[in-house]
Amino acid sequence: MPIKTGQQYIESLRDGRTLYIDGKVVSDVTAYPPLQGVIATIAGLYDDQHDPALQKILTYASPSSGELASATYLEAGTEPEFQHLAGCFHLRAKRTFGLMGRLTDFMSAFLVDTAVALKALGKHDAAARAQGLVELCRENDVQVTHALIDPQSDRSTLDAPSEAVRVIERRGDGIVVSGCRLLSTLAPVANECYVGPYYPRRSGEEPFMLAFVVPMNAPGLSVICRESFYRGQDRFDRPLSSRFDEGDAILMFDRVLVPHARMIVDGDIEAYNGMLQARPGYTPLQATIRSTIKLRFLAGLATAIARANGRDKLPRFQAAIGELVALISVAEGIRAGAIAEGLGRAQAFARGEVRIEGDGLTGPQTVGVCGGAAINFFFPYANTKAADVLRLAAGSGVLAMSAADYANPDIGPLMDKWLVGPGIDAKRRLQLMKLAWDMTGTEFGSRAGLFVLQYSATTEINAQRWFRSGITRECEALVDELLNN
Ligand SMILES: Cc1cc2nc3c(=O)[nH]c(=O)nc-3n(C[C@H](O)[C@H](O)[C@H](O)COP(=O)(O)OP(=O)(O)OC[C@H]3O[C@@H](n4cnc5c(N)ncnc54)[C@H](O)[C@@H]3O)c2cc1C
Burial of 192 (0-12, 13-18, 19+ CB in 10 A): buried
Question: How many angstroms does the Cα of residue 182 sit away from the middle of ligand 1?
Answer: 8
CA 399 to centroid of ligand 1, rounded, Å:
33
313 — phi, psi (to 5°)? -90, -5
Q: What is the pLDDT of residue 1?
A: 65
CA-186 nearest atom, ligand 1: 8
Angle, helices 104-120/315-350, rounded to nearest 10 degrees: 40
Question: Looking at this protein, which amino acid is placed at residue 402?
Answer: S
Strands 174-185 and 248-258: what pairing? Answer: antiparallel
pTM > 0.85: yes
Q: Please report the pLDDT score of residue 368 as a whole number.
A: 66
3-class SS of residue 351: coil
Report the candidate in 71, 3, 10 with the shortest Cα–Cα distance to residue 35. Answer: 10
State which amino acid sits at residue 374. A
pLDDT < 50 stretches in the chain: none
Cis peptide, bond prior to residue 315, ω within 30 of zero? no
Closest CA to 183 of 149, 154, 139: 149
Which atom of ligand 1 lies at the shortest distance from residue 148's CA?
11
In short, whether 461's Cβ falls inside 6 Å of ligand 1 is: yes
Nearest CA to ligand 1 atom 20: 457
Give dist(CA 456, CA 251) in Å, integer.
Answer: 18
Q: Is 111 helix (H, G, I), strand (E, B) or coil?
A: helix
Q: Is the CB of 450 under 6 A from ligand 1?
A: yes
* CA-proximal residue: ligand 1, atom 46 (nearest): 150
Quote the DSSP letter at residue 202.
Answer: -
Task: Return the ligand 1 atom nearest residue 152 CA.
Answer: 26
pLDDT in the model for residue 460:
86
Ligand 1 atom closest to residue 102's alpha carbon, by position in its atom list: 8
CB-based burial label for 120 (10 Å; 0-12, 13-18, 19+): buried
Which structural domains are found in the chain, ordered by start? 6-274 (2.40.110.10), 282-484 (1.20.140.10)
- Going from the Cα of 254 to the center of ligand 1, the distance in angstroms, rounded, reads 21
Q: Specify the ligand 1 atom closest to the Cα of 147.
A: 11
Determine the pLDDT at residue 277.
84
Q: Which ligand 1 atom is at minimum distance from the Cα of 450?
A: 53
pLDDT of residue 106: 98
Structure confidence at residue 358 (pLDDT): 66
Task: Determine whether the shortest distance from the Cβ of 147 to ligand 1 is under 6 A.
Answer: yes
Closest-CA residue, ligand 1 atom 42, reads 158
Q: How far is the CA of 457 from the centre of ligand 1 (A)?
A: 4
* 192, 227, 454: residue to mutate for ligand 1 pocket, most atoms within 8 A of CB: 454
Residue among 162, 183, 376, 464 whose CB has most ligand 1 atoms within 8 A, to mutate: 183
Q: In what order do the strands lie in the sheet with 210-215?
A: 144-147, 192-195, 210-215, 263-266
In ligand 1, which atom is closest to the CA atom of 149?
49
Given this model, what pLDDT does residue 349 score?
86
83, 339 contact by CB (below 8 A) = yes
Is the CB of 359 inside a 6 Å radius of any atom of ligand 1?
no
Give 285 Cα–ligand 1 centroid separation in angstroms.
20
Q: What is the pLDDT of residue 91?
A: 98
Instruction: Tell me the DSSP string of 260-322.
Output: GGGEEEES-HHHHHHTTTSS-SHHHHHHHHHHHHHHHHHHHHHHHHHHHTTGGGSHHHHHHHH
Q: Helix or strand or coil: residue 149?
A: strand
Whose Cα sits closest to atom 3 in ligand 1? 451
Instruction: Give the type of residue at 185.
Output: T
Q: What is the pLDDT of residue 360?
A: 65
